[in-house]
Chain A
Amino acid sequence: MSGPIQTNVETLRVRAGELFDAMEWPTPSEEEWRRTDLGRFPFDDYQVDDERSASTTILEDWSGRDLFPESEFAAAARFEAGVCVGASGLDSLGESGAILALSNEDVRDLGDELPGPGANAFEKMLETTLGRIDNRVEAWHYRGELHGAVLYVPAGVEIATPVLLDFSEKGQMALTAPHVFVILESGASVQLIVSLTTSESDRLLCNSGIHASVAEGARLELLVIDDLGSETTHFAHRRATVDRDARFTQFEAHLGGSLVKSRSEAELAGAGSEAYLNGVFFGDNGAHLDIRSVQTHLAPHTTSRSLYKGVVAGSARTIYQGLIEIDEEATQADAYLTNNNLVLDDGARSDSIPSLKIRTNEVKCSHGSTTGRIDQAALFYLMSRGFTRDAAQSTIIEGYFEDVAKRGGPLAIASVMGAITRRLAGRAA
């Protein structure tokens, strides 16, 4: 395919709008929404903030060091209330041929700026995205005013230091749609960190999306950290398509929020591709977290792993739905899924639904799930060394999460563990 991009973001928006109009809100009769009943959810109460500036000028240099003091980033950008307020590294990134487009205009022009294969990949991604919308919430996201970034890395380019995108959403009864598209051409590699925060005083609905296309032999490491206030509702739609011999590693953290429904899907479309999905989730007070991971094997000799650990406390409810789907064509697939859940309090509830749909016999596929409380023996041991019960609990829970966080590297540990420690301290207080 070559030539001007037919489908651009605007087209996606319009066609998603048509889908939105044609669909109804999901109901519990659909398996994926069975445990998150949106029947009484006040969708109409959330509005896009009109006062949001449509400014496309990026004002300041923002290096990301206020969030990560020890780190160097190849490029960084910060969004506040849907507007990019600072960025850095765009030019040096450009020297390697990589592009980080942050404004709506930049994204619209991207079609013309991208070299052939990149443009094709972007167009294909937009088409795939559109074709996969299977519920009204997702359609709602794409018809909305997206703000965010497109990260493009050309063939063979390996970005040595990470790229950081920080979204600080704000508002009262506001609707916000942050989005990131990532396009890696063959042999490219980059680590991308996306952080999403809201505060206790924000009441908003964040409908977010991250889509990645990882071409042949490329490697993408994605860290997504959601640290949300207790009046935030978050719907997350995440997908990565992984081509031949490419590798995708994701670490996602869902901390806080009052209602969170998230789906992360890794599609192993090319032979020899690999996907690793790691996640942690922490529900407290009356939170409702419904986290879904999907490993889809479409080609031979593919590998995937999921490890999701959750903690549920107070009167919160967590649901983990994990699916491994292996197509007839995906012979020699090697897939594994693990879900562990810690239940801290008697009013808390944890649901675990790991599923397998296997359509060929030449596979190695299994999953495991455990649900229980903190190991009493470990608790006793720490207390016998002078830890208070709360301190002992916190220490154990931190270790429990760090086991997953370390798969996201030192930056994952740095960002997530801090947030978790704060939340645990808040409980004890």
Chain B
Amino acid sequence: MMKLNLKSAAAVCCAAAMVFFGGCKQDDGKIRIGVSIPSADHGWTGGVVWWAEQTKKDLERKDPKLEIIISTAKDSAEQVSRIENLLVQGVKALVVLPHEPAPLTGICEQVKQRGLYLVVVDRGLQKDVQDLTVAGDNAEFGRRCAEEMAKRLQGKGDILIMEGVPCEVNTLRVTAFRQVMKKHPSIRILESQTSGWSQEKGLKLMENFLQKYPKIDAVWAGDDDVLTGALKAYAESKRHDIQFFIGGGGSKAIVKRVLDRDPLVPVNVTYPPRMIAFGIEYAAAAVKGKPMVKSKRAIIPAEVITPANAKYYYQPSSPY
């Protein structure tokens, strides 16, 4: 009897609290923007988180009415929950860098149904429901990497490709790369495997490649974190047949190697995590009624970093 009373009392208190407080809502006149990004699980996403926080400080300082809420998530299911939480906090715009396209499409459609302004950065969704896409030029990225590799191999050699996570970003890059290589029939692509854009997997994959192929001329690691892992595997193997590697992304460690004229890393192509900063700025401008971009896509070009211009791309203070 007592037990029942205590439990019922607790239940009644909960219900009363919910009813009483459910109605209360403060309106403090702030414009809230939600930013939902993956947590810093590798160098590039670490760069994204850092740039997002810098942009938050910057924009909030310039306009005190703006409140930017940054929310990180370790996988797609958690990201959906985080976006739901952001919606409850009354955001007027949402900037999303989806972990994966398919699981995030549903919640993004709901965001649009509520009439909020939606910016999708880097990885797309299954359906194009967003107001604005901010992405790097993935096809250009793949093309530039291929052109630089072909140029330095003088049109012939055996190469390996390390792909990223299977998604649209990866497909665009690899397709463009292969299309350029078709123009150089003496360049043979020995194999192409996924390294999941992770340094650890890049190391393991490179070890396997080195076991399988006694002679390799060049390797496209596709990403600077993967490149770091691949270089370590190569150094540990004590082989000397690989002429050079090409990564991608513009991380400061690799840019430094280009700057120092490291023979194994002669060139790099950018894919800046700073694109999240642009996404947030465009969202803030649109929400205030003064959109900065007229079209639905804002593409950040991929630029080639060589020892000559590397000093302009080297930023020691950023984590990426």
User: Is B one of A's binding partners?
Assistant: no
A interface, CB within 8 angstroms of B: none
B interface, CB within 8 angstroms of A: none
